[in-house]
């Protein structure tokens, strides 16, 4: 490709719309253009990158026997009603774009494809002899995100590789999940990404085990907690840890005491010489389900702990499974709730807050579902709110409250917490960009959509399923987030828009032009992805653009051209290597071949599993 023909439009200043480096550089380099919030055009340079990522993904998926197909983005609501996800995905905070066609039929734009693929599998697969099978596709996904952000990082339309596997038993699902894990590691290595595999919450997809692949970066939206020994890493949504030990509190009598204006744990502790671990806090939530009115929820944690709403939502979904899927979980606006005709004593609530405290609130029916985290449940004596303004209570234990609670881990693990696998090890926090996620789904979808097969023994059973995603467009931007400097992007060779750029320093010099054209032909003949910068621009402009675009190798044909001399420079390095033109190929080719593998080790070629 010649730069003359590339319609290269680069910007000198960072665009106002972009916050993080990768977004700024992609816009400045002319890789992407915003069309609407969270919706981007992939310009020719970006499209080259995306096609390279897709090619790597294809090779690795094909290598583990997955079958590529293409499923529709436009999907009938009926299919989603059968899996029970239409309401969760369209109502409330739902992320599915939905519409009606001219006949009034409801349709959705696919945010994911479990329903479609499972119904196809149900049609096609009759016998255990056909299993296992894995389908995958590279496709545009649509998600009506609450807040699209950071360019391609969280878009409303984006490219995703999704794969779905079907198995006769759980053992085979586990085996295939393992080979998918390995395939993912190879994909990310070949793309030149530094990725950490972490335990993850399954979220709205559901299922048992799940693992996320995090590209480590400051701009990441996820918090990862990991131990230095490499034995534990998890998304904070999912992470478990040992809480700090509580300071013992001896409570001899069950009594209330005055805490005027002390509506926070901090204030109570300061005024009465207490430690936050000697107190408990009470949180009120409203849980909305597909069936029936909203459920009030009262959650108790030790005073120094934070609630993890993902864990809490999972617990509620399990405890109230008969109410249908959990649509929303939000904090109750306590200030507006009536309590016995007056307002609730905010800041002075106790675990034994009466069931009728929130009655009369629109949409809320029934008494509290009371949940207590082990950090609070294990306290012998503690201080809590007395359910009266400016009053707290010393409680000599849970028996004094005479109420039953469901005990469940709903606390958020924090950096600095000790690890469960080794109480000497401590969790540290890093930020990550979720570029891949693999799930063992189990039989949730196959049961709902009657995707069954005949077993060897003659019975009929729902298939075991796994699903596996890679955010292709997000991955490409994450690569920039991990690889850039003050002058622009530094693409890993495996996914760079071009591997080499030949910069003609002065296009009016015949020797330079002739030599550059010769090298251009040689490199192309050798299978190198090369850009010839033959534009009528000054050398400085071309150097700046080459750096901005992040092409990993730069060959300069300039002042030494007359005697056949050129320069070679790696985008990531400072040094410039002078050499004679004929030496370029023998020098560069072996290096390129190595770099095309990314960080994939020489031995572990992408075939065996």
Partner RNA sequence: CGGGGCGUAGCGCAGUUUGGUAGCGCGCUUGCUUUGGGAGCAAGAUGUCGCAGGUUCAAAUCCUGUCGCCCCGACCA
Cβ 68 to RNA shortest distance, Å: 32
Q: Which is nearer to RNA, 381 or 565 (CB)?
A: 565
Cβ 446 to RNA shortest distance, Å: 33
Q: Which is nearer to RNA, 66 or 283 (CB)?
A: 283
Q: Which is nearer to RNA, 23 or 443 (CB)?
A: 23
Cβ 312 to RNA shortest distance, Å: 10
Helix (H, G, I), strand (E, B) or coil at 201: coil
Q: Which is nearer to RNA, 534 or 545 (CB)?
A: 545
Cβ 384 to RNA shortest distance, Å: 9
Cβ 156 to RNA shortest distance, Å: 9
Q: Which is nearer to RNA, 451 or 515 (CB)?
A: 515
Side-chain half-sphere exposure of 600, counting CA atoms within 13 A? 27
**Is the distance from CB of 555 to CB of 548 less than 8 angstroms?**
no
Cβ 476 to RNA shortest distance, Å: 18
93 closest CA partner among 315, 309, 283: 309
Determine the length of the chain.
Answer: 609
Helix (H, G, I), strand (E, B) or coil at 170: helix
Cβ 111 to RNA shortest distance, Å: 17
Q: Which is nearer to RNA, 134 or 551 (CB)?
A: 551
C-alpha distances (whole Å) from 19 to each of 43, 145, 151, 158 are: 20, 18, 9, 19
**Is the distance from CB of 283 to CB of 299 less than 8 angstroms?**
yes
Q: Which is nearer to RNA, 15 or 324 (CB)?
A: 15
Residue 291, exposed/middle/buried by CB under 10 A (0-12, 13-18, 19+)?
exposed
CA distance 465 to 168: 9
Cβ 400 to RNA shortest distance, Å: 19
Q: Which is nearer to RNA, 119 or 308 (CB)?
A: 308
Cβ 602 to RNA shortest distance, Å: 31
Q: Which is nearer to RNA, 176 or 491 (CB)?
A: 491
Number of H helices and E strands in the chain, helices first, is 14, 33
Q: Which is nearer to RNA, 28 or 141 (CB)?
A: 28
539 closest CA partner among 501, 574, 573, 572: 501
Q: Which is nearer to RNA, 114 or 547 (CB)?
A: 547
**Who contacts 420 (Cβ-Cβ below 8 Å, separation ≥6)?**
232, 240, 241, 242
CA distance 498 to 500: 6
Q: Which is nearer to RNA, 128 or 405 (CB)?
A: 405
Cβ 218 to RNA shortest distance, Å: 12
**Is the distance from CB of 473 to CB of 157 less than 8 angstroms?**
no
- What are the DSSP E strand ranges found in 202-325? 210-216, 222-227, 233-235, 255-258, 280-289, 295-302
**Who contacts 193 (Cβ-Cβ below 8 Å, separation ≥6)?**
215, 435, 475, 478, 479, 482, 492, 598
389: number of Cβ within 10 Å: 17
For 34-56, give one letter per residue: b (16+ CB within 10 A) or e. beeebebebbebbebbbebbbeb
Cβ 266 to RNA shortest distance, Å: 8
Binding site for RNA (CB under 7 A): 10-17, 19, 28, 34, 36-38, 146-150, 263-265, 281-284, 303, 306-307, 309, 330-332, 334, 346-349, 385, 487, 505-506, 508, 538-541, 543-545, 547-548, 556-560, 567, 569, 576
Distance of CA 227 to the CA centre of its chain: 20
Cβ 489 to RNA shortest distance, Å: 12
Helix 44-63, helix 472-482: angle, nearest 10: 110
Helix (H, G, I), strand (E, B) or coil at 524: helix
Cβ 214 to RNA shortest distance, Å: 19
295: number of Cβ within 10 Å: 22
DSSP per position, 404-465: --EE---BPP-TTPBPSS-TT-BEEEEEEEEEEEEEEEETHHHHHTT-EEE-TTS-EEEPEE
Maximum pairwise Cα distance, the chain: 97
Q: Which is nearer to RNA, 125 or 504 (CB)?
A: 504
Cβ 529 to RNA shortest distance, Å: 21
Cβ 469 to RNA shortest distance, Å: 22
Q: Which is nearer to RNA, 331 or 421 (CB)?
A: 331
192's tokens: 């030149």
For 172-188, give one letter per residue: b (16+ CB within 10 A) or e. bbeebbebbbbbbbbbb
Q: Which is nearer to RNA, 36 or 253 (CB)?
A: 36
251: number of Cβ within 10 Å: 18
């Amino acid at each position: 490709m010649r730069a003359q023909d590339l319609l290269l439009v680069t910007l000198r200043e960072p665009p106002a719309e972009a916050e993080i480096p990768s977004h700024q550089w992609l816009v400045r380099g002319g890789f992407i253009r915003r069309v609407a919030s969270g919706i981007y055009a992939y310009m020719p340079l970006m499209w080259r990158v995306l096609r390279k990522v897709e090619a790597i993904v294809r090779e690795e998926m094909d290598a583990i026997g997955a079958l590529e197909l293409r499923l529709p983005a436009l999907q009938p609501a009926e299919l989603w009603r059968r899996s029970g996800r239409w309401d969760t995905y369209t109502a409330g905070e739902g992320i599915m774009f939905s519409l009606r066609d001219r006949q009034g039929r409801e349709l959705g734009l696919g945010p994911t494809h479990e329903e479609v693929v499972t119904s196809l599998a149900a049609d096609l697969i009759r016998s255990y002899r056909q299993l296992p099978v894995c389908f995958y596709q590279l496709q545009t996904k649509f998600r009506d995100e609450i807040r699209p952000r950071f360019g391609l990082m969280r878009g409303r339309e984006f490219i995703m590789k999704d794969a779905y596997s079907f198995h006769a038993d759980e053992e085979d699902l586990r085996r295939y999940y393992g080979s998918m894990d390995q395939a993912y590691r190879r994909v990310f290595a070949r793309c030149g990404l530094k990725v950490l595999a972490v335990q993850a919450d399954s979220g709205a997809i559901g299922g048992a085990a799940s693992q996320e692949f995090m590209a480590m970066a400051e701009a990441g939206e996820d918090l990862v907690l990991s131990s230095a020994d490499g034995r534990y890493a998890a998304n904070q949504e999912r992470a478990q840890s040992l809480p700090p030990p509580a300071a013992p509190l001896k409570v001899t009598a069950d009594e209330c005491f005055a805490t005027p204006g002390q509506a926070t744990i901090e204030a109570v502790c300061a005024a009465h010489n207490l430690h936050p671990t000697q107190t408990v806090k009470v949180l009120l939530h409203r849980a909305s389900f597909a069936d029936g009115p909203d459920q009030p929820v009262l959650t108790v944690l030790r005073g120094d702990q934070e609630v993890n709403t993902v864990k809490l939502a999972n617990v509620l979904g399990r405890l109230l499974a008969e109410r249908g899927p959990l649509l929303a979980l939000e904090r109750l606006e306590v200030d507006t709730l009536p309590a016995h005709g007056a307002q609730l004593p905010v800041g002075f609530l106790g675990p034994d807050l009466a069931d009728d405290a929130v009655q009369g609130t629109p949409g809320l029916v029934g008494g509290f579902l009371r949940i207590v985290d082990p950090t609070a449940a294990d306290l012998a004596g503690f201080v809590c709110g007395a359910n009266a303004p400016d009053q707290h209570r010393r409680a000599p234990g849970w028996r004094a409250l005479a109420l039953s609670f469901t005990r469940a881990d709903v606390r958020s693990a924090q950096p600095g917490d000790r690890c469960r696998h080794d109480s000497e090890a401590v969790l540290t926090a890093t930020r990550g960009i979720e570029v891949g996620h693999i799930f063992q789904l189990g039989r949730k979808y196959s049961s709902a959509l009657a995707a069954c097969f005949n077993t060897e023994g003659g019975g009929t059973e729902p298939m075991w399923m796994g699903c596996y995603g890679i955010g292709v467009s997000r991955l490409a931007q994450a690569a920039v987030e991990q690889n850039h400097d003050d002058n622009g992007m530094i693409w890993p060779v495996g996914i760079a828009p071009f591997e080499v750029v030949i910069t003609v320093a002065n296009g009016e010099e015949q020797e330079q032009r002739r030599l550059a054209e010769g090298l251009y032909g040689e490199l192309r003949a050798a299978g190198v992805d090369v850009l010839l910068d033959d534009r009528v621009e000054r050398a400085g402009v071309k150097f700046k653009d080459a750096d901005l675009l992040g092409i990993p190798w730069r060959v300069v044909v300039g002042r030494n051209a007359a005697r056949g001399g050129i320069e070679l420079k790696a985008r990531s390095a400072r040094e410039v290597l002078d050499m004679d033109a004929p030496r370029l190929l023998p020098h560069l080719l072996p290096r390129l071949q190595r770099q095309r593998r990314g960080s994939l080790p020489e031995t572990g070629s992408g075939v065996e599993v």
